[in-house]
Amino acid sequence: MHYYQFNIGDYQSHTSHLSEMEDLVYRRLLDWYYLHEIPIPLDEAEVSRQIRMRSHTESIAIVLREYFVCTENGWIHNRANKEIAKADEKSVKASASAKARWSKKDANALPTLSESNATHNTLPITQDTEHKTQKKATVVACPLDVRDQVWSDWVALRKSKKAPITETVVEGARKEAFKLNWPLDKFLVEWCTRGSQGLKAEWIVKPNPADNIRLTVAPSNEPDPALEKIKADEKKAAPMPDHIRKYIAEVVRKA
Residue pair 59/21 in contact (Cβ under 8 Å)? The answer is yes
CA distance 178 to 22: 26
User: Which of 8-22, 118-132, 171-185, 219-233 shows the lowest per-residue confidence on average (mean pLDDT)?
Assistant: 118-132
Residue pair 143/183 in contact (Cβ under 8 Å)? The answer is no
pLDDT tens, position by position, 126-139:
444 444 444 444 57
If you count them, how many residues does the chain have? Answer: 255
Please state the pTM of the whole predicted model: 0.36
Return the HEC string of 126-173.
CCCCCCCCCCCCCCCCCCCCCCHHHHHHHHHHHHHCCCCCCHHHHHHH
Burial (CB < 10 A; 0-12, 13-18, 19+), residue 172, is: middle
pLDDT tens, position by position, 168-209:
999 999 999 999 999 999 999 999 999 998 999 888 887 555
Per-residue confidence band for 147, with pLDDT thresholds at 50, 70 and 90: very high
DSSP symbol at 1: -
Strands 74-76 and 69-71: antiparallel
Q: Which residues contact 43 (CB under 8 A, 6 or more apart)?
A: none
Highest mean pLDDT among 50-64, 147-161, 202-216: 147-161
Backbone angles phi, psi at 223, to 5 degrees: -65, 150
Strands (E), 18-167: 69-71, 74-76
